[in-house]
Amino acid sequence: MADFSEVKILFVDDEVNILNTLRRLMSLEDFSCDFANSGKEALLRMETEQYDIIVSDMRMPEMNGDEFLTLAREINPTSTRFILSGYSDFNSMTNALNKGGIHQFIAKPWDDNYLIEKLTEAAQFTIIRKEHEHLVALTKKQAEELKQANQLLEVRVESRTQELKQTSDMLDLSYQELKSSYSMFIDVIAQVLQLRSVAPKDHLNDVAETARALARASGLDEQAQDDIYKAAKLHELGKIRIPESVLKKPLGQIHGAELIEYKQYPMQGFSLMASLDNLGEVANLIKAHCERFDGKGFPARIQGADIPIGARIIAIVMNYFLYRNGLFDGRSHTDEESDFYIKAIAGKVVDPNLVEPFLEVVHDELSKKGQHEARVEVQAAQAGMVLSRDLFNVRGVIMLTKGAVLTDKTIAKLKFIAEKDSADYVLYVDAEAD
């Protein structure tokens, strides 16, 4: 196990009880931790201490998290920065991403295991970065010494230099990959969107990954596949401006003025994305993904082949998972029922030419994801089943974590919650568990 005792973490939150909870949690871990009650106090600490990881609340008096992290980044640009907050304002999150350079957003209330997992990843990243810097310095020093070595040792010097260069290159590659994984804009925004969604936790990922697979199967080039993936993952961006009271309703139960407001979300998503460099095509796909094949969609009521192929791909994937995950009529449906639904709306809502390739792709994607798991309604759950995925309630709060073993008492409680929330909770369980 790696030694993280030299990895320094600074937690910043204006709520004392939150800091006390974090202090108790981190007392069980092998990290060196400090705690600050405000952005101002944290900046004073940073004048005398070098922190590898900074975890900050977003909404604080005097100085918000995005303002603090912007200053913290200037003081210590190599630190890994987290937002730990229940506050999901889009503009503040964008500022924190662009100016504060955050690497991860974690929602309150947090899951302890998930928080420790992300801090451990950041600590590993810190260790690799420091090892990389040390190795580069060591390589330069040894290279200088080797230059002055005897000519008779030239072959050995060259061999040793190549070994060090290869090791340095490998560490540099690992460093760049970790840096990239922490700074992906789309993943951060998708996490913000998930906070307001009643969809299953994997909903946006399932839509995005299946859309990319269908684009690949349709023969589209890699750039088009990437644009479709990004647009599919952010297709609900405009819903950030829709009241939660509307978003909590199944789509088939939204009517009147609420439906008129709901239909604005593709254009609102387009407006938010259109000004960003290199994402113009992604914005166009977001705008058109609710157009129907028969021309009765929104916002522009275009039809058939006039709808961009990427938008048609996102539309068929989106409609499938809306129906399958219970977001259309409030009831989850089996894969067979979802297949029948897509066939029924072919030529009206979705492109009929995409139906067969889509069904082949979606079954393949779901089988790869759940080849060792089964999908079970709460009412059919049995004691001894082992969860293969985390289980979230309709508000996005985790109820049971992956690996939890169901008991009669747990199942009874889940049934009570499902009845209280008027929700058809679906469990994903390990199909190979005894």
Q: Are residues 317 and 239 in the same domain?
A: yes
Q: Are residues 100 and 177 in the same domain?
A: no
| Number of domains observed in the structure of the chain | 4
**Residue where the block lists tokens 């994305």:** 273
Taking only the tens place, the pLDDT of each residue in 327-338 is 888 888 888 999
What's the confidence (pLDDT) of residue 173?
A: 47
- Given phi > 0 = left and psi -120 to 50 = alpha, else beta, which region is 33? beta
Task: List strand residue ranges (DSSP E) for 120-212, in order.
Answer: none
Whole-prediction pTM = 0.53
Q: Are residues 141 and 284 in the same domain?
A: no
pLDDT exceeds cutoff 90 at 193 = no
Residue 310 is assigned to a structural domain of this protein: yes
Report residue 194's pLDDT band, with 50, 70 and 90 as the boundaries.
low
Q: Are residues 49 and 97 in the same domain?
A: yes
pLDDT exceeds cutoff 60 at 432 = yes
Give the residue numbers spanning the domain of 296.
195-369
pLDDT exceeds cutoff 90 at 89 = no
| Inter-helix orientation angle 203-217/309-324, to 10° | 140
Report residue 179's pLDDT band, with 50, 70 and 90 as the boundaries.
very low
CA distance 414 to 367: 26
Average of pLDDT values for 152-176? 58
User: Which of the given ranges, 81-95, 106-120, 137-151, has the highest pLDDT on average?
Assistant: 106-120
CA distance 393 to 397: 6
Residue 190 is assigned to a structural domain of this protein: no
| Contact between residue 349 and residue 315 where contact means Cβ atoms under 8 Å apart | yes
CA distance 69 to 303: 46
Q: Are residues 172 and 220 in the same domain?
A: no
What's the confidence (pLDDT) of residue 181?
A: 41
Q: Are residues 126 and 102 in the same domain?
A: no
Rounded to 5 degrees, what are φ and ψ at 317? -70, -45
What's the confidence (pLDDT) of residue 294?
A: 97
What's the confidence (pLDDT) of residue 180?
A: 43
Q: Are residues 273 and 359 in the same domain?
A: yes
Q: Are residues 298 and 335 in the same domain?
A: yes
Average of pLDDT values for 160-175? 54
Q: Are residues 390 and 357 in the same domain?
A: no
Percent over 70 (pLDDT), the chain: 82
Q: Are residues 234 and 334 in the same domain?
A: yes
